[in-house]
Structure 1
């Protein structure tokens, strides 16, 4: 983590242009609305900014044809969280869409952040550096080293004219941030040609507001989902992110519980917190994105429901990240006897959990299960955590 570079104690707004058609993706659905792990890509970008406490508002600029879909995405967030979001209509070009978004920003904003809706991996530390640099300099933008050599062709495009020294150039990335009056001046003064054909906001501010932007080397996670293959790449990244903050609460230190925890530790790339007492459950749920509750079956389902209520409390008071709750039942009863009770209970909890952005699954494993069965149960749970599919919320699975 980068060293603290100061606090953001002034109003910050974010504009997310999301009105593009995604022609390079080659799909009927614009890429920002393509499903990744059961949610539109735009959801993850929104989530990243809504989790930043000092971001005052987020302006999403979308095509008229996708206003309803955007409204549906916002329903995934709590009423308090989505109250920070405004949706405005886009235009025919990128700059014209951004201009529409900028005009919707609150007048008291000091710094406005521009970011592509199809760049869902936003690190708060780097975002803070960009914002503070913009506050000081007037404009700031992320850059990355060029990976491929850049060539200049002849006028007809068929022959090599000369090769550029890539060490002298950098790739402009997002996010970019600007003092609000500066970016408004640039868009107000720019030409119709700029609005129709331009793509670089840093250039507009330099040309029409007289401000040269501070360039900051950004992390490799700033890449943009552009081609169809990028959807698979971002899915893999998000799956691994889902497995970084996991906690397991056991109702007792049973042998099978210890074996399961050991299995999670071995198969996940990060530490799995093992909680033996539920007093701090709500607090812990503010910092983890996945909670595994182990229950000896038959068990007191009322006690389990009380634990789940604490999970809801933690999810509501924490950030806007969707959470996964896995009810892991370990029992001596045959699976066929346990299934009706557990399945009904899981479905009831899943319905109640929707408003808290919590998806719920249950997994049953015999308390006397062999090591192979325990390993399958561990693999099953990890797969559910990685996929995080809301369409499967309320389902029960049996490890055999």
Structure 2
């Protein structure tokens, strides 16, 4: 599943982030292709902007996707809502569900397969991640333009930068989303940024498999420049 209904304002004005071009094709197309390259992936569901479903269908139809079953549904106002709507479009007999950021267009297929393999091996929730290269400081937030006091320095050896696709047993993913929806209706709900965070919030265990440096997220203009360079190198070396 690829939630792709967000605007991505940090890339600047214009088309939604998922529809920005990379090497002649939208980021979304690259992300769907990345999932479709795995032999274990039989269906890709894209949650598109509610007013852009026809456009996304046209984009995907115009870029060959190796005969994979690709379906487009209307997403929601939040990532969490888009995932829930996308999950509803996946056949009930599907036991393993991946959730992948459209803004991670270059994730290698070996990362996709590693996540699937870990879920098949018995994990309920799996995330790919890479060690941090930089020292990290925890700070006390301050007003814009004001220095932020450092609170402490976490041990970098215990920290990981999480990527996607994240993999889940379908029943677990459905369960945590149902709980979050119920709590939101009551005026509460967890403040998390990904689906693994939902699993953690409700007491489930998440495990980590090795990610890849090329599975970075395209969030800012400089990321797009880097993604173009990676894609050009791949095309030059192996006809990617």
Place the TM-score, normalised by the shorter chain, in its bin: 0.7 to 0.9
Q: Are residues 1:173 and 2:163 paired?
A: yes
- Residue in 2 aligned with 1:98? 83
> Which whole-Å CA distance do the structure 2 matches of 1:201 and 1:128 have between them?
19
The structure-2 alpha-carbon separation of the partners of 1:152 and 1:90, relative to structure 1 and needing over 3 Å to count, comes to same
* Residue number in structure 1 paired with 2:93: 108
State the distance in 2 between where 1:129 and 1:52 align.
10
The 1:153–1:69 alpha-carbon spacing in structure 2 relative to 1, beyond 3 Å, is same
Following the alignment from structure 1 to structure 2, what is the Cα–Cα distance between the partners of residues 76 and 154? 48
- Asked whether the equivalents of residues 49 and 76 of structure 2 are also in contact (C-alpha less than 8 Å), the reply is yes
RMSD: 2.1
Q: CA separation of 1:156/1:89 partners in 2, compared to 1, >3 Å: closer, same or farther?
A: same
Q: Could you tell me how far 1:225 is from its partner in structure 2?
A: 0.5
**Cα offsets for 1:292-323 (capped at 9, x unmatched):** xxxxxxxxxxxxxxxxxxxxxxxxxxxxx7xx
Q: Deviations 1:156-197 (Å, cap 9, x if unpaired)?
A: 4632233322222212211110010111111111232446x4
**Normalising to structure 1: TM-score of the pair?**
0.54
Q: Deviations over 1:32-67 (max 9, x none)?
A: 111222211111111222222221100101112322
1:254-313 CA-partner distances (Å, limit 9, x unpaired): xxxxxxxxxxxxxxxxxxxxxxxxxxxxxxxxxxx4xxxxxxxxxxxxxxxxxxxxxxxx
Q: Which residue of 1 aligns with 2:237?
A: 244
Question: In the alignment, is the contact (CA less than 8 A) between 1:143 and 1:173 conserved in 2?
Answer: yes
In structure 1, the gaps of 5 or more residues are 1-14, 246-288, 290-320, 322-400
Please give the residue correspondences for 1:43-192 in structure 2 after superposition, counting only pairs within 5 Å. Answer: 43-78=29-64, 81=67, 84-135=69-120, 136-154=122-140, 156=142, 158-190=148-180, 191-192=183-184
Unaligned runs of 5+ in 2: none
Residue 202 of structure 1 aligns with which residue? 196
TM-score, normalisation: structure 2: 0.87
- Aligned structure 1 segments of 4 or more residues deviating by more than 6 angstroms: none
In structure 2, the CA distance between the partners of 1:80 and 1:204, relative to structure 1 (3 Å rule), is same
Higher relative contact order (CA 8 A, sep 6+): 2
Distance 2:65 2:198 in 1: 36
Task: Tell me, in whole angstroms, the C-alpha distance in 1 between the residues paired with 2:197 and 2:27.
Answer: 28
